[in-house]
Amino acid sequence: MPKEIEIIPPPRMPELKPQRASVSASVPGVRSYGTLDGIEAYFDKQRYMRTGKVVDKLTDLNRKEAALYSSQSAATTEYIRRQEELFRLQDLPERLGHEQTVRRIVRFDQLCEVRHTHELNQQRRRKDYMLGETEVVQTKAKLTHARTVLLDAQQQYEAQAKYGGTTHELHHKKQIVELLQIELEAEERRALLRSHNVDLGDDDRRQREFAEEESEQFERELREDLEKMGAK
Protein backbone atom coordinates (compact mmCIF):
# COMPACT_ATOMS: atom_id res chain seq x y z
CA MET A 1 0.00 0.00 0.00
CA PRO A 2 1.34 3.48 -0.82
CA LYS A 3 2.22 5.60 2.16
CA GLU A 4 -0.02 8.51 2.97
CA ILE A 5 1.74 11.76 2.23
CA GLU A 6 0.92 14.84 4.14
CA ILE A 7 0.75 17.77 1.79
CA ILE A 8 2.12 20.90 3.46
CA PRO A 9 0.46 24.10 2.24
CA PRO A 10 2.78 26.79 1.04
CA PRO A 11 3.68 29.39 3.63
CA ARG A 12 2.21 32.79 3.45
CA MET A 13 4.47 35.27 1.78
CA PRO A 14 5.23 38.26 3.99
CA GLU A 15 4.28 41.60 2.73
CA LEU A 16 7.25 43.56 1.56
CA LYS A 17 7.39 47.05 2.88
CA PRO A 18 8.02 49.67 0.24
CA GLN A 19 11.40 51.30 0.35
CA ARG A 20 11.27 55.00 0.79
CA ALA A 21 13.76 56.92 -1.24
CA SER A 22 15.55 59.39 0.98
CA VAL A 23 17.08 61.20 -1.91
CA SER A 24 16.04 61.87 -5.41
CA ALA A 25 19.39 61.07 -6.84
CA SER A 26 19.82 57.79 -8.60
CA VAL A 27 21.40 55.28 -6.31
CA PRO A 28 22.45 51.87 -7.44
CA GLY A 29 19.78 49.30 -6.63
CA VAL A 30 20.21 47.27 -3.51
CA ARG A 31 18.77 43.74 -3.40
CA SER A 32 16.15 43.19 -0.79
CA TYR A 33 17.79 39.95 0.21
CA GLY A 34 20.23 41.86 2.24
CA THR A 35 17.55 42.67 4.75
CA LEU A 36 16.14 40.19 7.26
CA ASP A 37 12.70 40.19 5.69
CA GLY A 38 14.15 39.63 2.25
CA ILE A 39 16.22 36.69 3.40
CA GLU A 40 13.17 35.09 5.03
CA ALA A 41 11.12 35.60 1.87
CA TYR A 42 13.88 34.05 -0.18
CA PHE A 43 14.04 30.94 1.94
CA ASP A 44 10.26 30.70 2.02
CA LYS A 45 10.20 30.80 -1.75
CA GLN A 46 12.88 28.17 -2.02
CA ARG A 47 11.06 25.97 0.50
CA TYR A 48 7.80 26.38 -1.40
CA MET A 49 9.48 25.39 -4.65
CA ARG A 50 11.08 22.36 -3.05
CA THR A 51 7.76 21.37 -1.46
CA GLY A 52 5.97 21.63 -4.82
CA LYS A 53 8.58 19.46 -6.48
CA VAL A 54 8.35 16.90 -3.70
CA VAL A 55 4.56 16.86 -3.98
CA ASP A 56 4.76 16.36 -7.73
CA LYS A 57 7.28 13.58 -7.32
CA LEU A 58 5.21 11.90 -4.61
CA THR A 59 2.07 12.19 -6.73
CA ASP A 60 3.87 10.65 -9.69
CA LEU A 61 5.24 7.95 -7.41
CA ASN A 62 1.78 7.19 -6.04
CA ARG A 63 0.39 6.98 -9.55
CA LYS A 64 3.14 4.60 -10.59
CA GLU A 65 2.65 2.52 -7.45
CA ALA A 66 -1.10 2.29 -8.18
CA ALA A 67 -0.38 1.20 -11.75
CA LEU A 68 2.15 -1.33 -10.45
CA TYR A 69 -0.38 -2.65 -7.93
CA SER A 70 -3.01 -3.01 -10.66
CA SER A 71 -0.52 -4.83 -12.88
CA GLN A 72 0.51 -7.10 -10.02
CA SER A 73 -3.14 -7.86 -9.21
CA ALA A 74 -3.89 -8.69 -12.84
CA ALA A 75 -0.75 -10.83 -13.06
CA THR A 76 -1.64 -12.64 -9.83
CA THR A 77 -5.19 -13.31 -11.05
CA GLU A 78 -3.89 -14.61 -14.37
CA TYR A 79 -1.35 -16.79 -12.58
CA ILE A 80 -4.03 -18.27 -10.34
CA ARG A 81 -6.25 -18.95 -13.35
CA ARG A 82 -3.42 -20.65 -15.21
CA GLN A 83 -2.56 -22.74 -12.16
CA GLU A 84 -6.18 -23.86 -11.85
CA GLU A 85 -6.26 -24.76 -15.54
CA LEU A 86 -2.99 -26.64 -15.12
CA PHE A 87 -4.31 -28.59 -12.13
CA ARG A 88 -7.52 -29.45 -13.98
CA LEU A 89 -5.47 -30.57 -16.97
CA GLN A 90 -3.28 -32.72 -14.75
CA ASP A 91 -6.37 -34.31 -13.12
CA LEU A 92 -8.07 -34.89 -16.48
CA PRO A 93 -6.55 -38.36 -17.24
CA GLU A 94 -7.33 -39.63 -13.74
CA ARG A 95 -10.87 -38.25 -13.85
CA LEU A 96 -11.51 -39.76 -17.28
CA GLY A 97 -10.10 -43.08 -16.06
CA HIS A 98 -12.39 -43.06 -13.02
CA GLU A 99 -15.43 -42.22 -15.15
CA GLN A 100 -14.57 -45.06 -17.53
CA THR A 101 -14.23 -47.46 -14.59
CA VAL A 102 -17.62 -46.37 -13.24
CA ARG A 103 -19.24 -46.92 -16.64
CA ARG A 104 -17.69 -50.38 -16.89
CA ILE A 105 -18.97 -51.30 -13.41
CA VAL A 106 -22.47 -50.09 -14.31
CA ARG A 107 -22.45 -52.08 -17.57
CA PHE A 108 -21.19 -55.17 -15.71
CA ASP A 109 -24.01 -54.86 -13.17
CA GLN A 110 -26.54 -54.56 -15.97
CA LEU A 111 -25.06 -57.61 -17.69
CA CYS A 112 -25.23 -59.61 -14.43
CA GLU A 113 -28.85 -58.61 -13.95
CA VAL A 114 -29.74 -59.64 -17.51
CA ARG A 115 -27.96 -62.97 -17.07
CA HIS A 116 -29.75 -63.59 -13.79
CA THR A 117 -33.11 -62.84 -15.40
CA HIS A 118 -32.24 -65.13 -18.31
CA GLU A 119 -31.30 -67.96 -15.95
CA LEU A 120 -34.52 -67.53 -13.98
CA ASN A 121 -36.52 -67.68 -17.21
CA GLN A 122 -34.67 -70.80 -18.29
CA GLN A 123 -35.34 -72.48 -14.94
CA ARG A 124 -39.00 -71.53 -15.15
CA ARG A 125 -39.25 -72.94 -18.67
CA ARG A 126 -37.52 -76.16 -17.58
CA LYS A 127 -39.92 -76.47 -14.65
CA ASP A 128 -42.92 -75.92 -16.92
CA TYR A 129 -41.54 -78.42 -19.40
CA MET A 130 -41.02 -81.04 -16.68
CA LEU A 131 -44.53 -80.47 -15.35
CA GLY A 132 -45.89 -80.81 -18.87
CA GLU A 133 -43.92 -84.00 -19.41
CA THR A 134 -45.24 -85.38 -16.11
CA GLU A 135 -48.80 -84.57 -17.11
CA VAL A 136 -48.26 -86.18 -20.50
CA VAL A 137 -46.93 -89.36 -18.86
CA GLN A 138 -49.85 -89.46 -16.45
CA THR A 139 -52.28 -88.92 -19.30
CA LYS A 140 -50.67 -91.71 -21.30
CA ALA A 141 -51.00 -94.03 -18.30
CA LYS A 142 -54.68 -93.11 -17.98
CA LEU A 143 -55.16 -93.70 -21.71
CA THR A 144 -53.51 -97.10 -21.44
CA HIS A 145 -55.76 -98.03 -18.54
CA ALA A 146 -58.81 -96.74 -20.42
CA ARG A 147 -57.84 -98.76 -23.51
CA THR A 148 -57.44 -101.87 -21.35
CA VAL A 149 -60.85 -101.40 -19.76
CA LEU A 150 -62.38 -100.69 -23.17
CA LEU A 151 -60.79 -103.79 -24.65
CA ASP A 152 -62.10 -105.91 -21.79
CA ALA A 153 -65.57 -104.47 -22.21
CA GLN A 154 -65.51 -105.06 -25.97
CA GLN A 155 -64.40 -108.63 -25.45
CA GLN A 156 -67.15 -109.21 -22.91
CA TYR A 157 -69.68 -107.63 -25.24
CA GLU A 158 -68.57 -109.78 -28.18
CA ALA A 159 -68.61 -112.92 -26.03
CA GLN A 160 -72.11 -112.22 -24.75
CA ALA A 161 -73.31 -111.36 -28.26
CA LYS A 162 -71.79 -114.56 -29.62
CA TYR A 163 -72.63 -117.00 -26.85
CA GLY A 164 -75.86 -115.52 -25.60
CA GLY A 165 -77.08 -113.43 -22.72
CA THR A 166 -80.03 -111.35 -21.90
CA THR A 167 -80.85 -108.37 -24.05
CA HIS A 168 -80.77 -106.05 -21.03
CA GLU A 169 -77.24 -107.07 -20.10
CA LEU A 170 -76.08 -106.65 -23.69
CA HIS A 171 -77.64 -103.18 -23.86
CA HIS A 172 -76.05 -102.27 -20.54
CA LYS A 173 -72.65 -103.50 -21.68
CA LYS A 174 -73.07 -101.57 -24.90
CA GLN A 175 -73.74 -98.38 -22.95
CA ILE A 176 -70.64 -99.06 -20.83
CA VAL A 177 -68.56 -99.51 -23.97
CA GLU A 178 -69.90 -96.26 -25.44
CA LEU A 179 -69.19 -94.46 -22.17
CA LEU A 180 -65.65 -95.81 -22.14
CA GLN A 181 -65.19 -94.71 -25.73
CA ILE A 182 -66.36 -91.21 -24.78
CA GLU A 183 -63.95 -91.11 -21.84
CA LEU A 184 -61.15 -92.39 -24.08
CA GLU A 185 -61.81 -89.64 -26.62
CA ALA A 186 -61.90 -87.06 -23.83
CA GLU A 187 -58.59 -88.30 -22.41
CA GLU A 188 -57.03 -88.22 -25.86
CA ARG A 189 -58.18 -84.61 -26.29
CA ARG A 190 -56.76 -83.70 -22.87
CA ALA A 191 -53.46 -85.38 -23.71
CA LEU A 192 -53.28 -83.49 -26.99
CA LEU A 193 -54.00 -80.21 -25.20
CA ARG A 194 -51.37 -80.90 -22.55
CA SER A 195 -48.76 -81.77 -25.16
CA HIS A 196 -49.48 -78.44 -26.85
CA ASN A 197 -49.49 -76.58 -23.53
CA VAL A 198 -45.88 -77.60 -22.87
CA ASP A 199 -44.73 -75.43 -25.78
CA LEU A 200 -47.03 -72.53 -24.96
CA GLY A 201 -45.86 -69.52 -22.95
CA ASP A 202 -47.57 -67.44 -20.32
CA ASP A 203 -49.23 -65.28 -22.96
CA ASP A 204 -51.21 -68.29 -24.31
CA ARG A 205 -52.53 -69.37 -20.90
CA ARG A 206 -56.00 -67.97 -21.59
CA GLN A 207 -56.24 -69.86 -24.88
CA ARG A 208 -55.19 -73.05 -23.10
CA GLU A 209 -57.82 -72.60 -20.38
CA PHE A 210 -60.45 -71.84 -23.01
CA ALA A 211 -59.56 -75.06 -24.89
CA GLU A 212 -59.77 -77.09 -21.67
CA GLU A 213 -63.19 -75.62 -20.89
CA GLU A 214 -64.39 -76.53 -24.38
CA SER A 215 -63.10 -80.09 -23.92
CA GLU A 216 -64.86 -80.46 -20.57
CA GLN A 217 -68.08 -79.03 -21.99
CA PHE A 218 -67.90 -81.46 -24.92
CA GLU A 219 -67.43 -84.36 -22.49
CA ARG A 220 -70.39 -83.27 -20.37
CA GLU A 221 -72.61 -83.03 -23.43
CA LEU A 222 -71.61 -86.54 -24.51
CA ARG A 223 -72.33 -87.90 -21.04
CA GLU A 224 -75.75 -86.23 -20.98
CA ASP A 225 -76.60 -87.67 -24.41
CA LEU A 226 -75.51 -91.11 -23.26
CA GLU A 227 -77.59 -90.89 -20.08
CA LYS A 228 -80.63 -89.83 -22.13
CA MET A 229 -80.13 -92.82 -24.42
CA GLY A 230 -79.89 -95.13 -21.39
CA ALA A 231 -83.06 -93.68 -19.90
CA LYS A 232 -84.94 -94.41 -23.08
pLDDT single digits (tens) 144-172: 887 787 777 777 777 666 655 555 566 66
Domain presence at residue 4: no
| pLDDT tens per residue across span 115-128 | 999 999 999 998 88
Domain presence at residue 7: no
Domain presence at residue 141: yes
Domain presence at residue 6: no
* Distance, first Cα to last Cα, the chain: 129
pLDDT of residue 218: 64
CA distance 196 to 193: 5
Are 96 and 158 found together in one domain? no
Are 96 and 136 found together in one domain? no
Domain presence at residue 224: yes
pLDDT of residue 186: 73
Q: Does residue 33 have a pLDDT over 80?
A: no
Are 97 and 180 found together in one domain? no
Number of structural domains found in the chain: 2
160-199: burial string, b at 16+ Cβ within 10 Å, e else? eeeeeeeeeeeeebbebbbbbbbbbebbebbbebbeebee
Domain presence at residue 12: no
Are 225 and 158 found together in one domain? yes
| pLDDT tens per residue across span 70-97 | 999 999 999 999 999 998 888 888 989 9
Mean local confidence (pLDDT), 203-225: 62
Looking at 104, 135, 157, the residue that finishes a domain is 104
Enumerate residues 6+ apart whose C-beta is below 8 A from 153: 173, 176, 177, 180
CA distance 110 to 144: 51
CA distance 56 to 5: 11
Looking at 47, 72, 104, the residue that finishes a domain is 104
Domain range holding 68? 32-104
Domain presence at residue 14: no
Domain presence at residue 15: no
User: Concatenated DSSP letters for 68-81?
Assistant: HHHHHHHHHHHHHH
Sign of CA dihedral 199, 201, 202, 203: negative
pLDDT of residue 227: 61
